[in-house]
Structure 1
């Protein structure tokens, strides 16, 4: 009787061992959608079964709703509105970790972009919403008075006590420029807690991506310049945000004003801008899409140096003049 060699015996043992290992079936694709924060939130994930997928989706949307209770300037009782109500009182207010963290990101971006992004722009945003809804351009005196109650330097933060001070009476915070990106990031964290490694959250155009879908090189993402150019990309483990006045704007005396407000003038942008930003972080991508829209191409090129790993596609249209800065080619 011929005996096995050591190599043959080892090979046979390995084969027998492998035959008893549990085999995980191919994860299935699940899609969930829910209206939140005034936009459709779409979650796509790959999970082993219906039960895991549903728990992941429920947890993700529950987290977004929790954040909306904190950050929404539309809700009178939200934490951010309660904080705004203390402006000018000289009172330091201890806030939740979520509110402190998102304001810290906002302040950092404000400092790095010369104030073209500003969470204290709430009074101007409120004025502009009213003007857009009524179709009545605000008087210059109202614009000046409203602008006087803004300025990111008037927001003070104490990291040790997790507290905020709003130094001037009549201030109002608005973090709509980065709130959906933050919410998308937090939703994906909930999904990952269940061991799901391939997921996408699209929060009204603010997209956070994890690993590619099984068997693919990346998530298929299409980005438009707002008119005739379309860029198809395969992306993974990045975040993307697009900003532009394609659907939200006001026309007054034949002039179109964007819903994106310039913190220096207090009125909507006078030129059409379409900005897409890809960044490692969803909160930053969301904020930069707005900031670069306000700053324009030349200033944005300078500001981008402070945000490593970010790429931009920015298109400016003013009359017959079209300028484009495309790093996504």
Structure 2
């Protein structure tokens, strides 16, 4: 999925740790093969290739479930999260790699092939329909969190209770290390102070343009694209979300980054048991919304 995965496991012996870790990584690799849009032979790309055909496309349970979760979050955030942004994400990946700003017509053309409302679901047959020709699914906004949650299930099946799965900065935390109250997680935006938070049995995700961004004409554009404009975010500094699971944390870190503080406060009411720390710039000022550290 374009990111490194790391496991930290506490087990009764090396053998159990190794066997459970291998099984967890095998599950992650299976998901990568199915859900990564970086792979030409992935299931998600094969499904996207059938867009606009008016046929119901049978998909794996994993792909159906992750798209169904995505659809729910899209509805609750007014489209701030959207798993159909593949066409515009592809344009921004190329632009970031080559250092140019995408042409307005390219952006408009790509945006015309997006929209979460253009995905239809048939639960009884685990099938979906992509209504617009040229649609391209991209679950990068929650795929790593989903893979981390699935790794947790595998580890639990081996009797592992204490572990942390780091999926490219998207964390799934199980019970804390022996003798500790929780996993100590360091959060820093690079602009505000470093804080150490302590949690267990939650998902934590942080999104920001620290490493992936486009620098153009003195402006920094995030790799996170606004679904309404097709432009990389300009004012986003960092968003951290703590959720009951890593899938939700991963998706909401993107959604709140897009929505910003004002709209984000409305959306948070629809996601109980979630906490947010969002830092953004408005002109020369830095604004912070923090429900994690009160």
Q: TM-score, normalised by structure 2?
A: 0.98
- The Cα shift of 1:227 comes to 2.2
Q: Secondary structure at the match of 2:124?
A: coil
- Unpaired runs of at least 5, structure 1: 1-36
The answer to whether the 8 Å contact 1:70/1:79 transfers is yes
Equivalent of residue 267 in structure 2, options 268, 283, 303: 303
* Conserved 8 A contact 1:272-1:318: no
- Structure with the greater alpha carbon radius of gyration: 1
Is the contact between residue 2 and residue 38 of structure 2 (CA under 8 Å) also seen in structure 1? no
**SS at structure 1 position matched to 2:4:** strand
Q: Retained in 2: the 8 A contact 1:242–1:289?
A: yes
Q: Please say if 1:177 is aligned against 2:141.
A: yes
Is 1:247 matched with 2:211? Answer: yes
Contact 1:257 1:268 in 2 (8 A): yes
Give the equivalent residue in structure 2 for 1:265: 229
- How many angstroms apart in 1 are the aligned matches of 2:167 and 2:257? 19
For 1:194 and 1:272, the matched residues in 2 are separated by 40
SS in 2 for 1:160: helix
The aligned residue for residue 100 of structure 1 is 64
**TM-superposed deviation, 1:267:** 1.0
Partner Cα distance (1:46, 1:141) in 2: 53
1:255, 1:220 → 2: CA distance?
34
| Cα distance between partner residues in 1 of 2:61 and 2:190 | 37
Q: Residue in 1 aligned with 2:120? A: 156
Q: Matches of 1:148 and 1:233 in 2, distance apart?
A: 42
Structure 2, unpaired ranges of 5+: none
CA shift for structure 1 position 195: 0.6
Residue 13 of structure 2: aligned partner:
49
Q: Aligned to 1:39, what secondary structure does the other structure show?
A: coil
Number of residue equivalences: 293
Shift of 1:138: 1.5
Which secondary structure does the structure 2 equivalent of 1:131 belong to?
A: helix
The answer to which of 213-222 and 300-309 deviates more is 213-222
Match of 1:125 in 2: 89
Find the counterpart in structure 1 of residue 176 from structure 2. Answer: 212
Q: Residues 27-46 of structure 1 correspond to what in structure 2 (within 5 A)?
A: 37-46=1-10
Residues 126-173 of structure 1: CA deviation (Å, up to 9, x unaligned): 011111111111111111111000000001111111101000100000
Question: Matches of 2:218 and 2:200 in 1, distance apart?
Answer: 43
| Higher RCO structure (Cα 8 Å, ≥6 apart) | 2
Instruction: Give the distance between the partners of 1:285 and 1:102, measured in 2 at CA.
Output: 13
- In the TM superposition, structure 1's runs of 4+ consecutive aligned residues that sit over 4 Å from their partners are none
1:230 aligns with 2:191: no
For residues 236 and 259 of structure 2, the distance between their equivalents in structure 1, rounded to whole angstroms, comes to 13
Corresponding residue of 2:48:
84
Structure 1 residue 275 corresponds to structure 2 residue 275: no
Residues in 2 aligned to 1:56 and 1:229: alpha-carbon distance in whole angstroms: 37
> Cα RMSD between the aligned structures?
0.9
Provide the rounded CA distance (Å) in 1 between the counterparts of 2:37 and 2:4.
18
Work out whether residues 72 and 78 of structure 1, in 8 Å CA contact, stay in contact via their aligned partners in 2.
yes
Give distance in 2, aligned partners of 1:232 and 1:251: 30
How far apart in 2 are the matches of 1:114 and 1:91?
A: 27
Q: Does the residue aligned with 1:275 lie in a helix, a strand or coil? A: strand
2-structure distance, mates of 1:65, 1:111? 30
The 2-side partners of 1:262 and 1:100 are apart by: 24
Instruction: Give TM-score, length-normalised by structure 1.
Output: 0.87
What SS does structure 2 have at the residue aligned with 1:240?
strand
Q: 1:223 deviation in Å?
A: 1.1
